[in-house]
Amino acid sequence: MELGTVVFYAVAALVVVSAAMVAFSRNIIYSAFSLLGTFAGVAGIYVFLGADFVAAVQLLIYVGGILVLILFAVMLTHRITDVKITNRAAGRLPGVLIVGIFLALLIETIVETPWAKAKQIVYTPTSAAIGDLFLRNYLLPFELASIVLLAALIGAVVLARKELKG
Amino acid sequence: MEIGLTHYLVLGAIVFCLGMLTVLTRRNAISVLMGVELILNSANINYVAFAHYSSGGVDGQIYAIFVIMLAAAEAAVGLAIVLAIFQLFHTIDVGATETLKE
């Protein structure tokens, strides 16, 4: 087996195992920290797919931003020392059954479908092309994105602030 | 067997199903949000994989960046709502909270 193949399977295993930890762990702190493995592994998958800019964005926003937000929320909302099991789950057996059937159907579809093939698979730096498209074809979504982020920023501050009584 | 599009799509499907399982079975609101993040990540894997193997351009990567941006906004607002619910009810069990007001 080639070295690249081995590394791909290692990264994919990291993603799947840590995602399974998120789904099955009994402690919410473990769940939150194994989310780090999933996000970093997905960034590695992007590198395999030749998407260098997206991989960097994934690391910056998911690992640096969203994960820290989630950890803060966990620490702020849980009296961790109070209860042994902080991350309860209900209806796990039917859930696993239904999701398992769904996964089998998805994989069946993926394997059976004849996907379109690109003329040639290239590995080139993408940031210049992405910046060009953002300011040309995708200018309106790009500007809308900034408004969405501003609205989310203000909304989060309004929702999370302490209510002043009296 | 050479690594191809199918491998990435299967990986995306597995991560999607684990995220859906998290959303369906967890009782803790923050865990449900973690499941949503897993689902968004699996969609992103598919976008970038198709951009690499099927279209050959970077449009798929741009959609992935938009999804990451919306995920950041969603996480900020969602966790703010979770904090507001916790201040009000002193629990974030999704089964115990039915209203946003006292």
The pLDDT score that the predictor gives to residue A166 is 55
Provide CB contacts within 8 A for A4, sequence distance 6+.
Answer: B3
**Residue A143 is assigned to a structural domain of this protein:** yes
**Residue A92 is assigned to a structural domain of this protein:** no
Whether the per-residue pLDDT at A83 is higher than 70: the answer is no
Interface mutation target, options B5, B24, B67, B85, chain A, most CBs of A under 10 Å: B24
**Residue A166 is assigned to a structural domain of this protein:** yes
Query: How far apart are the C-alpha atoms of A24 and B38, rounded to whole Å?
Result: 13
List B residues 36-65 in contact with A (Cβ-Cβ < 8 A). 37-38, 41, 44-45, 48-59, 61-62, 64-65
B89–A contact, CB cutoff 8 A: no
CB B100 within 8 A of CB B76: no
Domains detected in chain B:
5-89 (1.10.287.3510)
Percent of residues, chain B, with pLDDT higher than 90: 53
**Residue A41 is assigned to a structural domain of this protein:** yes
Provide CB contacts within 8 A for A114, sequence distance 6+.
Answer: none
B28–A contact, CB cutoff 8 A: yes
Query: How far apart are the C-alpha atoms of A41 and A112, rounded to whole Å?
Result: 27
Identify whether residues A56 and A4 lie together within a single domain. yes
Which pLDDT band holds residue B87 (cuts at 50, 70, 90)? Answer: confident
**Residue A98 is assigned to a structural domain of this protein:** no
Integer-rounded Cα Rg, in Å, for chain B is: 17
Q: What pLDDT, in 10s, does the model give residues B44-70?
A: 999 999 999 888 788 899 999 999 999
Identify whether residues A5 and A76 lie together within a single domain. yes
Q: Count CB neighbours of B78 within 10 A.
A: 23
Whether the per-residue pLDDT at A86 is higher than 70: the answer is no
Integer-rounded Cα Rg, in Å, for chain A is: 21
Which among A85, A109, A135 is the end of a domain?
Answer: A85
Identify whether residues A12 and A73 lie together within a single domain. yes
B100–A contact, CB cutoff 8 A: no
Identify whether residues A25 and A78 lie together within a single domain. yes
- Mapping DSSP onto H, E and C, the string for chain A reads CCHHHHHHHHHHHHHHHHHHHHHHCCCHHHHHHHHHHHHHHHHHHHHHCCCHHHHHHHHHHHHHHHHHHHHHHHHHHCCCCCCCCCCCECCHHHHHHHHHHHHHHHHHHHHHCCCCCCCCCCCCCCHHHHHHHHCCCCHHHHHHHHHHHHHHHHHHHHHHCCCCCC
Least confident of A17-26, A40-49, B84-93: B84-93
A91–B contact, CB cutoff 8 A: yes
B95–A contact, CB cutoff 8 A: yes
User: Into how many domains does chain A fold?
Assistant: 2
Percent of residues, chain A, with pLDDT higher than 70: 91
**Residue A54 is assigned to a structural domain of this protein:** yes
**Residue A116 is assigned to a structural domain of this protein:** no
* Nearest by CB: A121 against B52, B69, B74: B52
Query: Which residues face B93 on adjacent strands?
Result: B28
Q: What pLDDT, in 10s, does the model give residues A112-158?
A: 988 888 777 878 888 899 999 999 999 999 999 999 999 999 998 88
Domain of A137 in residue numbering reads as: 125-166
Query: How far apart are the C-alpha atoms of B37 and B78, rounded to whole Å?
Result: 11
Nearest-neighbour CA in chain B from A23: distance (Å): 5
Per-range mean pLDDT, top range of A20-29, A70-79, A144-153, B24-33: A144-153
Q: How many CA atoms lie within 13 A of A117 on its CB side?
A: 6
What is the average pLDDT value for chain A, to the nearest integer?
87
List A residues 134-163 in contact with B (Cβ-Cβ < 8 A). 134, 138, 141, 145, 148-149, 151-153, 155-157, 159-160, 162-163
Identify whether residues A134 and A72 lie together within a single domain. no
**Residue A102 is assigned to a structural domain of this protein:** no
Element (H, E) at B35: helix B29-50
